[in-house]
């Protein structure tokens, strides 16, 4: 009999792959437009405001994007 962790592994990998795909789409849009906003991410990958914020923060921490500005005026540029 397989353990619960083993049974969940394909689902976890699928979710991780989907997230990686979304992050790459965000990077590509930033490169294409020069800079993007939180709302651009929401519309591009069909996520909530909070999720878009988390994705952008993760990309900034990973040195893939640079945040310019503060709060609602924040824009994100590719590095």
Domain boundaries, the chain: 4-78
pTM value is 0.85
Q: Which of 50, 31, 23 is nearest to 39 (CA)?
A: 50
Identify the CATH assignment for 4-78 out of 1.10.10.10, 1.10.1740.10, 3.90.1150.10, 2.60.40.10: 1.10.10.10
Q: Count CA atoms within 13 Å of residue 69 on its CB side.
A: 11
pLDDT value for 72: 83
pLDDT in tens, 23-68: 999 999 999 999 999 999 999 999 999 999 999 999 999 999 999 9
Minimal CA–CA distance to 59: which of 73, 5, 72, 74?
Answer: 74
């Amino acid at each position: 009999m397989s353990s619960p962790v083993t049974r969940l592994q394909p689902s976890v990998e699928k979710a991780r792959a989907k997230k990686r795909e979304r992050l790459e789409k965000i990077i590509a849009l930033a490169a294409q437009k020069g800079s993007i906003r939180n709302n651009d991410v929401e519309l591009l990958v069909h996520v909530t405001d909070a999720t878009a914020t988390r994705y952008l923060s993760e990309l900034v921490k990973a040195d893939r994007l640079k945040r310019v500005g503060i709060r609602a005026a924040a824009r994100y540029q590719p590095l």
